[in-house]
Structure 1
Amino acid sequence: MTMTGTIRTTCPYCGVGCGVLATADGRGGFDIAGDPDHPANFGRLCSKGSALGETTGLEGRLLTPRINGVQAGWDQALDLVAGRFRQTIAEHGPDSVAFYVSGQLLTEDYYVANKLMKGFIGSANIDTNSRLCMASSVAGHKRAFGSDTVPGLYEDFEQADLVVLVGSNLAWCHPVLYQRLVAAKTLRPAMKVVVVDPRRTATCDIADLHLALAPGADAALFNALLAQIVARGAVDRRFLAHVSGFAEALVAAQASDPGATGLAPADLRAFCDLWIGTEKVVTVYSQGINQSASGTDKVNAIINCHLATGRIGRPGMGPFSVTGQPNAMGGREVGGLANMLACHLELDNPAHRDAVQGFWGSPAMPTAPGLKAVDMFRAVEEGRIKALWIICTNPAVSMPDADRVAAAIRGCDFVVVSDMIAETDTTRLAHVLLPATGWAEKDGTVTNSERRISRQRALRAPAGQARHDWRILADVAARMGWGAAFAWASPAEVFAEYAALSGVAGTLGSDFDISNRAEQGADGYAAMQPFLWPDAPARQGGRFFGDGRFHTPDGKARMLPVTPQAPKAALSPDYPFRLNTGRVRDHWHTLTRTGLSPRLSAHLAEPFLEIHPDDAMRLGLAPAGLAEVTSPQGRAVLRVLVTDRVKPGEVFAPMHWTGETAPTGRVDALVASVVDPVSGQPESKAAAVRVAPFAARWHGFAVSASAFRPEVDFWAVARTQQGMRAELAGLTMPEDWETMARMLFTLPDATALHVIDRARGIARIAFCDGARVLAALFVSPEPVALSRAHVAGLVGQDSAREVLSGRPGAGRPDNGATVCACFDVGVNQIIHAIAGQHVTSVDALGKALRAGTNCGSCRPELRALIARHAPPLAAE
């Protein structure tokens, strides 16, 4: 059953928390638009959000429970899960079991998982993939403020006179916030933007200053700033009355070496001039800060500067952490991390434990933190955790040292995975698979990076036998003997209990209190509009800490002495490159959702390695060739992208590809499981690696109307409008190309057209049904040069004779590789408009082609194309 009319819901991607309007299209799908009334996005959506309607089909869905790969009924599967967990606890104690959950769960799901593990199983062994992205921010907030509180609001981005983006490629990772910032800067050209990032990213397009600091040197930068704040008399002495630790923090800052930043003195001075000379400054930070073995110290180095100047909790100023996942914040609020309790209460505080246990009426409560993510999987490997439940995440790909984690899961006595996708690197390792609902079916709430709680609403009934995660957890809890405490009939009832518990937390001094919502009922929950927490009798929404009141025992903020640390993975002659990892513009996590959208796969369709031209030349790496990247932990093979966006000695690779889409592109297999000692967050942006050419004897490009899984040394598949495409390469030559191609596509009897020149190593083979193209393979000794979009578009068409040419015939356009994914605009279209039609501004390109007029993430690329291809001005 599909809901009728237009449904207001929330995007399931990044932590911006954009409102979405979804309308059934009459064909089983949905038309998607931004919600103009949602205060996070005001109608804007990025390319990923705009393509949500393309990702709601049933292809690849897990639709029934499975036990050891065999379909099973829900009762059988749930009885087995409850029985094995109960038996394991009886034999080995509560700490022999663990839950690993996700920032993509809804708050209601998260709350139930936390209640079951901590309050009833009696272990704190529940952690989340948010440990990989936001734990250092949590720890830094708690050290400085006494609570995990984001002080500011999104509107501060627009009200600031200076926005400093640190370790944040906002243009690609939080595009709607980036567009809000662009719009504000356009209205107020005097606004300044500084980007602090070792790599030149798309976000630098609006930067007045780009500080390409040395990898990991953020703490040295902000220590240098703090020292200058004091030296120039910019300290707010009145606000310092609300702060402790100033003297110690200053001593540490003055002891730091500014040269460790790797910046030219003039650039460092320019940054200090801007920051100190601008009162309304917001410092926005993300994974470049958090994903570090000293991430918590980096967070506190930033906060120190804001506390010293009193620039916090007032319009247009403050430190601001932007979260990577749609409900990373909600997970923090319900105590989803192994060292927290619900509603920002403390696990190591006896009064807090007693209050939560009393509210839940639970039989047990852990007295010590559980295992954080990296330690959890190490305990799985060592056999200390014997039953593991993974919910809504893919750790066999996304955890550092991913090969080792996958092996640990494979060796665990009992593994349960709840997911909406049938085949992932992690589901393949499960004993029991439980089909969960996904976006378009889930019903609950999420919290975005500015503490705004929004409803995510169901657009249709669950697919197949899928069930909501909170319901699955509650059903297992009932089978373990705790049915009365988990007897909710709806997510509204779960939310009401959670809101009521927050009222208890509020009486204990917690900042998180939404108790005004506890009695709103089912109708109020159904109609609930986005709101900022807190929402309590004593306080509603707004900023925190501008009044100088903090959540520490003495009510004062704490400045922390910070000693900058180099990345833990040391460079050496064997591993001389520093590997940075991150996201690309149009994809999300491990591709299970965005990989379903052909247009999102068209911009960057395979894993790649950015490397500086000098390094590429020295190593013999050709543009578009393949590189083998190795670390002490693992190996990857990636497409070479030669660019000066990275500095010599530094390389960058995205983290999205998996064993299902590009087995040798699993970048987190290269990353060591080194963690921040305070937060437990892994250092994912500073691995030490070796880079060398991948000595492929042949390269291939393949398209097919049907899905196929290559069995060659390198491959990467992506969805097209007509079927599937793949990049291929091999270390050995097949005996017969046609035989190999038939096996690749599983087309033993189809008619083949081919051009094969074994002496030159060239083969072009098309399989047809009459004139209709079923599949095609192109092989060359070098990376195959042809029009990929054109060839992919011929699949399923009566184009058997045309397809082997690999390029459009006379009079047929070749749009080229996609640049604007929102409107499917190709690079050749853009170049033609620039060079042939003399379109020489991004706005003019938007009017001509629509490119860059939706999410705007491609505008930096458009500007670069204009600079490269605009005809020279005529001499006067």
Structure 2
Amino acid sequence: MNETRTTCPYCGTGCGLRVSGASANVAGQIPAIKVQGDNSHPANLGRICVKGSALDKTMGLQGRLLAPHIKHQRVSWEQALDHAAQRLADIIQQYGPDAIAFYASGQLLTEDYYAANKLMKGFIGSGNIDTNSRLCMSSAVAAYKRAFGEDAVPCNYEDIELADVVVLVGSNLAWAHPVLWQRLAAARAARPDMQIIAIDPRRSTTCAEADLHLAITPGSDSALFTGLVNWLITEGKEDALWRSRTVGRTETAQAAAPWTADKVAEYCGLSRNQVEAFYQLYCKPRRVMTLWCMGINQSATGTDKCNAIINAHLVSGQIASPGCGPFSLTGQPNAMGGREVGGLANQLAAHMDFTPEAIERVGRFWGSNRTAHKPGYKAVELFQAVERGDIKAIWIMGTNPAVSLPDTNQVARALAMCECVIVSDITAHTTTAAFADVLFPAQGWGEKEGTVTNSERRISRQRRFAEPPGEARPDWWIIAQIARRMGYEKAFDWSHPHEIFSEHAALTGFENQGERLFDISRLSRLTRTEWEQLQPIQWPVNSHYPAGCPRLFQDGVFAFPDGKARLVPVHPQPPRGTTSKYYPLVMNTGRIRDQWHTMTRTGMVEGLLQHRNKPYCEINPADASQAGITENRLVRLQSATGWMLCRAVITDAQPVGQVFVPMHWSSQFALQSQPGALITAHRCEISGQPESKFTPVRAQPVTSDWEGVLYASDSVTISGAQWWARAPVPGGWQFWVAGEGCITEWLEQQPWLAGFECRQATDNNISCHLLGFNHGALNVAFYASPSAPEPDSTLVCASLGKKVDKQTSDQLLAGRSLGDTRGAQTLCSCFGIRARDITQAIASGCHTVSSLGKQLGCGTNCGSCIPELKSLLSQHAL
């Protein structure tokens, strides 16, 4: 059996995978592949999360973009490329190069990213290329540059396991980076003295597992860490050696001085004892790691928050040695690769900025006299410039900004009025693709070749194991074809991604006398065979570090001319938004365990929508009671910029005055359920990263005349409803619907009922059960009542697409096989184990996670469900 070693296309952990099985992707069939963790890959050591485990389910052709389109009409590649190149050239001639913009993605491979950046900054001559990594990591990038002189993460994953104390701030690690959580949990199990501190306003799954949870006031992180710096200095915990290795100590100490433990406690909504407990834990051990993610970065003061964390490590000396350091966890598989090539609008290339020397150097290397001489628009500003008309053409590559950006209503307006919108994607129908004048079918994971760089600076290969479907092409090829048509044939005369990687690697070492840490010039000499066989390696990779470098700055020398790190004075500021009588709640957004970004891939996988299958908001019981909201009630959340609908989940894990909403659902999977519509465009002045964690909103219950559940063997179009959401289920799709007026009249307007032989039971238009058959096979089952109905989903799904006997038909019409549906939520997505199965096993004597795993299998594969298994065990013990 063929086996390919590759890298996961989801989060920035960068897990190595072993893929075995058939390679063909033909006739609409899913390749018969098996995906396993790669035991030899140092990022995951064989571990894999539930999304990675289900990658084989994402390889089918359902929803794939298979051919180029112009104005939604299928055309040849020649027509699409000629048209797009001519439109770009015409706009440049009429309005200048700054009228063009690219918006790229951390889903691109480094070679794709390099080609896009080279075309835009090197030959079109504009800085207007930015990326969705702006929404993810740009505050950390800016903070690392301010502190270290370069965007350089000093730590690695092994350090997490070696630490005595691990501080998790703004990171639900157990859900967002589950493999890293597994590594951390295993390390604590082996060394019980290890302490985990979780800093998060809500009690997430990660917080529930921590030794200390600090439920701080939203947005107060910088005060907590600035107070820590003051504590370190006043308590004599400052490291003398590292004091000599830094600049800015006096100014930073002065800025931190007012932040006493009492002031920090008041500002952060904590007790003095909690603050001191954290500070003492931080100071006591020999080794401290701080891991952070979106909860820190996605803030109007995100860069300062990151620098407050880094300041604490520099002052305490908890840096540049095993088990120590400030570690920003990347959200996407190649966000760091994009940073390396210059994919952010305020970078040039290869960690060079827009200095006169760098502009001249890069221009000579590329052989161009058109090199951009100033930064371009950052993501939010870029789409505002599109709406103003300053940007006339935008090329969007592998991302869905009409869902993921803040103020998505503004993004939609901008795209609707833009003269030329080009979209490269693997998915035909996304919210963004609907605005495209030109659609290019790109290749996806498993179909293309290249490299990615994970959170710990580790470069790994993504390898091809499946035949690309239809007319799909690699992103780098599409970019190069456009460049050639615009007259830049020589500079883009690549025939294989190895050539692009070699050029990229050579640029990192070009006239680099050690002043730029990012240097992989030794890899520029790899033959194609050596590149194809490249093993994971951490940069820099040059004459000084021929085998890579696991930790940076161990010699105490940083990327500033004087070699010293910078302490940055931080003056904590509140979030830009403010609550009011009209908008009394703070909306926080984030990821859920089994879904990825805007669900264009994971939303099609039945097993990944068992754990959480519809848009929801978590709300505290007190806030729910005050608003008249009950469990599972349809709720309208509204801010100053927009509104959304979702189901209520009432939980005391959510603090009073706050709601949490997952960021994943788009218009392809639910009606009016995009949280981006509510988020204002406030952003960090330094990094440009939006403030997605603090949006003032109000919550109101939604009144519906009826609510329904629809099962269909094929996905259908729902019209005339207040709200709907959909998810794949065995045999087809499940829809949740809410509406006004008469149920039967609404049903008469639905085209998906046409042509079916129907059985129907109604109760004076208060409730309705309906079955639709085609030649005796069940194609549709619909259940509606004044409150959300709960039909037996197992029974219905088992019957979809099949002929059923009279008894089963009667049970289906009743909506139940007289079974109890309580506890039907799936907790273990890997094996489909439901909550009621687990509680029954606990009642029968399984009192440990291990015994549950032996009996049911839950928790034995990806481990993502283990925290919830522990929670059920704890509840049973109480």
**TM band (smaller chain):** over 0.9
Distance 1:444 1:724 in 2: 35
Q: Report the AA paired with residue 451 of structure 1.
A: R
Instruction: State the Cα distance separating 1:670 from its structure 2 match.
Output: 0.4
| SS of match in other structure, 1:473 | helix
Distance 1:843 1:499 in 2: 47
Relative to structure 2, which stretch is displaced further, 92-101 or 541-550? 541-550
Deviations 1:731-758 (A, max 9, x none): 3334536525xx25x2322221222112
2:866 paired with 1:844: no
Distance 1:354 1:395 in 2: 33
2:665 paired with 1:657: yes
Q: Report the AA paired with residue 801 of structure 2.
A: G
2:783 paired with 1:778: yes
- Which one of the candidate residues 324, 330, 333 is aligned to 1:323? 330
| SS of match in other structure, 1:342 | coil
Residue 597 of structure 1 aligns with which residue? Answer: 605
Q: Report the AA paired with residue 490 of structure 1.
A: H
Residue 666 of structure 1 aligns with which residue? Answer: 674
> Does structure 2 retain, via aligned residues, the 8 Å contact 1:789–1:817?
no
> Does structure 2 retain, via aligned residues, the 8 Å contact 1:24–1:31?
yes
Residue 26 of structure 2 aligns with which residue? Answer: none
Distance 2:339 2:513 in 1: 19
1:445-484 matched pairs, under 5 angstroms: 445-484=451-490
Distance 1:359 1:792 in 2: 60
Q: Report the AA paired with residue 730 of structure 1.
A: G
Deviations 1:396-449 (A, max 9, x none): 000000111011111101110001100000000010001000111121000000
1:193-232 matched pairs, under 5 angstroms: 193-232=196-235
> Does structure 1 retain, via aligned residues, the 8 Å contact 2:446–2:466?
yes
2:336 paired with 1:339: no
Relative to structure 2, which stretch is displaced further, 395-404 or 748-757? 748-757
2:697 paired with 1:689: yes
- Which one of the candidate residues 502, 506, 515 is aligned to 1:509? 515
Instruction: State the Cα distance separating 1:664 from its structure 2 match.
Output: 1.1
Distance 1:808 1:242 in 2: 72
Distance 1:816 1:260 in 2: 42
Distance 1:788 1:813 in 2: 8
Deviations 1:523-576 (A, max 9, x none): 011111111111101123121123210001221100111111111111111111
Distance 1:720 1:333 in 2: 41
Distance 2:732 2:32 in 1: 18
Instruction: State the Cα distance separating 1:770 from its structure 2 match.
Output: 5.4
Distance 1:224 1:52 in 2: 44
Relative to structure 2, which stretch is displaced further, 814-823 or 671-680? 814-823
> Does structure 2 retain, via aligned residues, the 8 Å contact 1:787–1:816?
no
Residue 860 of structure 1 aligns with which residue? Answer: 867
Q: Report the AA paired with residue 363 of structure 1.
A: N
Residue 27 of structure 2 aligns with which residue? Answer: none
2:610 paired with 1:613: no
- Give the direction of change, closer, same or farther, for the CA distance of 1:733–1:505 in structure 2 (3 Å limit): farther
- Name structure 2 gaps, 5 residues minimum: 24-29
2:628 paired with 1:631: no
2:446 paired with 1:440: yes
> Does structure 2 retain, via aligned residues, the 8 Å contact 1:281–1:311?
yes
Distance 2:811 2:20 in 1: 39
- Give the direction of change, closer, same or farther, for the CA distance of 1:97–1:787 in structure 2 (3 Å limit): same
2:310 paired with 1:303: yes
- Which one of the candidate residues 16, 21, 25 is aligned to 1:19? 16
Q: Report the AA paired with residue 384 of structure 1.
A: D
Instruction: State the Cα distance separating 1:154 from its structure 2 match.
Output: 0.3
> Does structure 2 retain, via aligned residues, the 8 Å contact 1:29–1:57?
no
> Does structure 1 retain, via aligned residues, the 8 Å contact 2:506–2:524?
yes
TM-score (norm 2): 0.96
Q: Report the AA paired with residue 873 of structure 2.
A: I
1:728-807 matched pairs, under 5 angstroms: 728-736=737-745, 738-740=747-749, 743=750, 746-758=752-764, 761-769=766-774, 771-797=776-802, 798=804, 799-807=808-816
- Which one of the candidate residues 272, 281, 287 is aligned to 1:280? 287
Residue 116 of structure 2 aligns with which residue? Answer: 113
- Which one of the candidate residues 116, 126, 145 is aligned to 2:148? 145
2:395 paired with 1:389: yes
Task: Give the superposed CA RMSD.
Answer: 1.5
Distance 1:770 1:466 in 2: 37
| SS of match in other structure, 1:518 | helix
2:381 paired with 1:375: yes
Percent identity reads: 47
Residue 122 of structure 1 aligns with which residue? Answer: 125
Residue 568 of structure 1 aligns with which residue? Answer: 576
Instruction: State the Cα distance separating 1:834 from its structure 2 match.
Output: 1.6
Deviations 1:35-63 (A, max 9, x none): 11110011111010000000000110110
Deviations 1:603-646 (A, max 9, x none): 11111010000111111101001110011111100100000111
- Which one of the candidate residues 183, 186, 189 is aligned to 2:186? 183
Q: Report the AA paired with residue 596 of structure 1.
A: M
> Does structure 2 retain, via aligned residues, the 8 Å contact 1:182–1:206?
no
Deviations 1:337-392 (A, max 9, x none): 00112211112x11111111111101311221100001100000000000110000
Distance 1:505 1:69 in 2: 47
Instruction: State the Cα distance separating 1:109 from its structure 2 match.
Output: 0.2
| SS of match in other structure, 2:18 | strand
Instruction: State the Cα distance separating 1:813 from its structure 2 match.
Output: 9.5
Distance 2:511 2:853 in 1: 51
Q: Report the AA paired with residue 272 of structure 2.
A: P
- Which one of the candidate residues 50, 53, 64 is aligned to 1:50? 53
Distance 2:666 2:813 in 1: 30
Distance 1:138 1:270 in 2: 30
Distance 2:769 2:654 in 1: 36
Q: Report the AA paired with residue 504 of structure 2.
A: Y
Distance 1:428 1:732 in 2: 31
Residue 831 of structure 2 aligns with which residue? Answer: 823
Q: Report the AA paired with residue 206 of structure 1.
A: E
Instruction: State the Cα distance separating 1:767 from its structure 2 match.
Output: 1.2
Distance 1:619 1:731 in 2: 21
TM-score (norm 1): 0.97
Distance 2:501 2:325 in 1: 31
Distance 1:839 1:863 in 2: 12
Instruction: State the Cα distance separating 1:68 from its structure 2 match.
Output: 0.3
Residue 543 of structure 2 aligns with which residue? Answer: 537
Q: Report the AA paired with residue 617 of structure 1.
A: S
Instruction: State the Cα distance separating 1:822 from its structure 2 match.
Output: 1.1
Distance 1:808 1:247 in 2: 73
Distance 1:72 1:779 in 2: 44
| SS of match in other structure, 1:59 | coil
Distance 2:794 2:14 in 1: 33
Q: Report the AA paired with residue 365 of structure 1.
A: T
Residue 505 of structure 2 aligns with which residue? Answer: 499
> Does structure 2 retain, via aligned residues, the 8 Å contact 1:171–1:857?
yes
Relative to structure 2, which stretch is displaced further, 656-665 or 421-430? 656-665
> Does structure 1 retain, via aligned residues, the 8 Å contact 2:790–2:821?
no
Relative to structure 2, which stretch is displaced further, 855-864 or 174-183? 855-864
Q: Report the AA paired with residue 652 of structure 1.
A: F
Residue 7 of structure 2 aligns with which residue? Answer: 10
Relative to structure 2, which stretch is displaced further, 538-547 or 64-73? 538-547
| SS of match in other structure, 1:729 | strand
